[in-house]
Amino acid sequence: MADSYVLLWLEAPLQSWGYESRFNRRETLGFPTRSGVLGLILCAMGAGGPQTEWLGKMSKYGQTVLAFSKKESSRKFRDNLKLVDFQMVGSAYDDSDPWQTLLIPKTIEGKKAVSGGTKLTYRYYLQDAKFAVIVCVPEELKETIKSALQRPHWDLYLGRKCCVPTDLVYRGCFTLEEEAKQEALRIADSKDLECQFEVLEGQFPEEGEVMTVSDVPVQFGTFKKYVDRQVTVIDV
């Protein structure tokens, strides 16, 4: 059976695609991660938990990302500054973990604040980003994914729950990847946008920057697990 290509349009004032987060810094990659895109699809399906079987089927397939910005803009998308949000979050931390206790503000006497204090985090966001993501899907899952994206079971968001899409996410299912790409370019042109860079699966050092990203999920839920993949970022 032939594979199909689902086109997603990801546009919002803020997006955050978790990558290399350490301690109190929650970084974002400059384009949608594989885990973020698959997580969005599972939200549409209303599917929680580890989802190891479904992720195993999808691990054989890839995705292509196209990034857009306004035509004739003096500032290219990849040069855009990230927004940094300083947050003081909750009090649910582990007293036995010395790294977590370092993040908790103390009173002047050095004691924990009331209710255990607050976690301080720096969260990074992409501003006014616009992406087209072409997701290759197996024929056996095509109809389920199409139906879910057209009638999402849970709210869809672009990386974090505060990152609400401002346009339709699902933009069609195509037989050929080139057809999906042409539709993405048509949508972009209607919004007076032009493509700034593409992210392709695999290594193409003669064409662009090769990156190794650990964003292919093999298990969601409480104990998440990921494996690496290599992508090439190509300026257009």
Those residues with Cβ within 8 angstroms of residue 175's Cβ, 6 or more apart along the chain or in another chain: 2, 4, 5
* pLDDT of 161: 92
Is 161 a domain residue? yes
Distance of CA 85 to the CA centre of its chain: 18
Q: What is the mean pLDDT of residues 120-134?
A: 93
Mean pLDDT taken over the chain = 90
pLDDT digits (tens, 9 = 90+) for 202-230: 999 999 999 999 999 999 998 999 999 99
Is 184 a domain residue? yes
Residue 59 has pLDDT above 60, yes or no: yes
Is 162 a domain residue? yes
Domain that holds residue 190: 4-17+28-82+124-235
CA-derived radius of gyration, the chain:
19
To the nearest whole percent, how much of the chain has pLDDT over 90?
74
Is 51 a domain residue? yes
User: How far is residue 39's CA from residue 121's CA, in Å, rounded to a whole number?
Assistant: 23
Task: Find the angle CA(43)-CA(142)-CA(202) to the nearest 5 degrees.
Answer: 85
User: How far is residue 82's CA from residue 236's CA, in Å, rounded to a whole number?
Assistant: 21
pLDDT digits (tens, 9 = 90+) for 1-35: 579 999 999 999 999 999 877 778 889 999 999 99
User: How far is residue 49's CA from residue 56's CA, in Å, rounded to a whole number?
Assistant: 14
Residue 76 has pLDDT above 70, yes or no: no
CATH of the domain at 154: 3.30.70.2660
Is 113 a domain residue? no
Is 92 a domain residue? no
Is 109 a domain residue? no
Is 218 a domain residue? yes
Selection from 182, 171, 180, 173 nearest residue 137 by Cα: 173
Beta-bridge partners for 210: 232
Tally of structural domains, the chain = 1
